[in-house]
């Protein structure tokens, strides 16, 4: 066999991921697991901790040629067998599916992909054979910037928890936001990281959007849309506003053009909207259903605007939105491990809550995200109002209400708790 197919070399400096346990659990339950996430989020490195053989479609030209001649030969190898960047040859999906049916055993294949192919390829044919695992950039707990003393999973269980005071100065918040959770950037100097993140986004703008769209896309227009998304991060910005900002004084973009760009960014998994929470209220309260827009990591918003920590600390309102987006990123990582999802709550009457985490069994917790202790009282008032709303809904009492901040003592339980982001974990 061509070199590299029979054995899977594991990175020596691998940092443990929360998804490690999730992947092991899924492999024990289904024949194949599809690990999806943006480029450079660590999918391959995570898969290689478990895989016993591998084929890398993005670098192995022989493998790509073999798909046209004998695709089933790619599936031969010790299991779990990793097929990296499978979306480059989507036809391999059906061969994996058939092999899973034939072998009738769990843990046969791991497929990784950094772009979502056409829905028709995978919409139904993987049912009962494939499990899906979403990977994102690393959380603060995974990068070592959080102790994890306060567990989201235990918060959902209603357990009272405490943590010693954690202090994260505003400049440090800005630096973490700028660096992001990209595994390859761990240990690099911040100026190198900023350049790497800008190069990452530039490649998306120039090449990747056109690749997943199946046609040429104007990189200048994509860049303007990325900057508009960056300026409006952590807000439910409308399509009409994005369309207006993505154009310029001489060119007016059509809404369907912008929608196509957004679809491509979604399929590349570099944006991830936060859906609205829609409990059934027995009142006349009208909920807003528009999603809150985020990049998969707030460092991409920083890269789009070519910002620096110093510039961000001069604009605390915008830094607060980036901090919110970073916390939502982490909550998503922790919530997924707890079989939960992260939503936002907004009423037309004005009440807004930054994050609602709801487990599959209906347990829920609500969080406000504030850049400093001085705004904790405002967040607490919103959370109390939400709890009163839910007394007239189909939901039970919340497991916890808490305000997430950069610095402070960690408390949960009772009325409204406070959680420093440096103590939050899975």
Q: pLDDT tens across 254-280, in order?
A: 899 999 999 999 999 999 999 999 888
Convert the pLDDT of each residue in 295-315 to its tens digit.
999 999 999 999 999 999 999
Q: Specify the pairing of strand 109-113 against strand 81-84.
A: parallel
Q: Can you give the pLDDT at residue 119?
A: 59
Q: Taken in order 256, 232, 134, 8, is the CA torsion positive or negative?
A: positive
Q: Can you give the pLDDT at residue 78?
A: 97
Q: In which region does residue 225 sit, left (phi positive, over 0), alpha (psi from -120 to 50) or beta (all else)?
A: alpha
How many Cα atoms occupy the beta-carbon half-sphere of 153 within 13 Å?
11
Q: Which residues of 169-192 are buried (b: 16+ CB within 10 A; e: fewer)?
A: ebeebbbbbbbbbbbebeeeeeee
Helix, strand or coil for residue 419? strand
Least confident of 68-82, 162-176, 222-236: 68-82
Residue 180 above 90 pLDDT? Answer: yes
Angle value at C-alpha 207, between 330 and 201, nearest 5 degrees: 35
Convert the pLDDT of each residue in 76-103 to its tens digit.
999 999 999 999 888 899 999 999 999 9
Question: In 3D, which of 62, 49, 40, 63 has the Cα closest to residue 8?
Answer: 49
Least confident of 39-53, 105-119, 147-161, 275-289: 275-289
Question: Under 8 Å CB-to-CB from 136, ≥6 apart: which residues?
Answer: 37, 38, 41, 181, 272, 296, 297, 329, 332, 333
The answer to whether residues 338 and 359 touch, using CB atoms and an 8 Å cutoff, is yes
Mean of pLDDT over the chain: 92
Question: How many CB atoms are located within 10 Å of the residue 96 CB?
Answer: 25
Convert the pLDDT of each residue in 36-86 to its tens digit.
999 999 999 999 999 999 999 988 888 878 887 888 999 999 999 999 999
Q: Can you give the pLDDT at residue 61?
A: 83
Q: What is the pTM of this model?
A: 0.94
């Amino acid at each position: 066999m061509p070199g590299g197919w029979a054995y899977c070399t594991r990175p020596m400096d691998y940092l443990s991921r929360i998804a490690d346990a999730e992947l092991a659990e899924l492999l024990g339950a289904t024949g194949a697991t599809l690990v999806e996430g943006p480029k450079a989020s660590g999918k391959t490195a995570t898969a290689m901790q478990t895989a016993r053989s591998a084929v890398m479609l993005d670098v192995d030209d022989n493998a790509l040629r073999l798909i046209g001649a004998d695709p089933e030969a790619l599936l031969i190898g010790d299991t779990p067998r990793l097929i990296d960047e499978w979306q480059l040859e989507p036809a391999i999906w059906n061969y994996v599916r058939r092999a899973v049916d034939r072998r009738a055993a769990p843990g046969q294949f791991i497929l990784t992909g950094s772009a979502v192919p056409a829905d028709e390829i995978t919409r139904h044919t993987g049912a009962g054979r494939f499990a899906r695992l979403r990977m994102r950039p690393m959380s603060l707990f995974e990068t070592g910037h959080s102790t994890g003393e306060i567990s989201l999973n235990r918060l959902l269980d209603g357990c009272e928890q405490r943590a010693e005071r954690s202090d994260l100065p505003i400049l440090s918040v800005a630096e973490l936001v700028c660096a992001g959770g990209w595994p390859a950037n761990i240990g690099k100097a911040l100026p190198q990281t900023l350049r790497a993140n800008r190069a990452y986004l530039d490649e998306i703008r120039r090449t990747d959007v056109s690749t997943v769209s199946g046609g040429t896309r104007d990189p200048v227009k994509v860049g303007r849309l990325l900057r508009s998304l960056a300026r409006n991060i952590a807000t439910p910005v409308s399509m009409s506003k994005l369309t207006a900002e993505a154009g310029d004084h001489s060119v007016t973009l059509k809404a369907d053009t912008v929608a196509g760009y957004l679809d491509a960014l979604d399929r590349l998994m570099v944006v991830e909207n936060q859906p609205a929470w829609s409990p059934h209220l027995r009142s006349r309260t009208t909920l807003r259903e528009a999603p809150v827009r985020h990049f998969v990591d707030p460092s991409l918003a920083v890269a789009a605007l070519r910002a620096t920590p110093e510039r961000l600390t001069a604009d605390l309102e915008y830094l607060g939105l980036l901090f919110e987006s970073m916390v939502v990123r982490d909550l998503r990582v922790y919530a997924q491990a707890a079989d939960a999802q992260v939503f936002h709550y907004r009423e037309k009457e004005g009440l807004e809550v930054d994050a609602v985490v709801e487990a599959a069994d209906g347990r829920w917790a609500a969080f406000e995200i504030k850049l400093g202790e001085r705004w904790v009282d405002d967040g607490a008032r919103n959370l109390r109002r939400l709890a009163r709303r839910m007394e007239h809904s189909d939901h039970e009492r919340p497991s916890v209400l808490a305000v997430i901040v950069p610095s402070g003592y960690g408390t949960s339980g009772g009325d409204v708790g406070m959680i420093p982001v440096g103590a939050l974990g899975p």
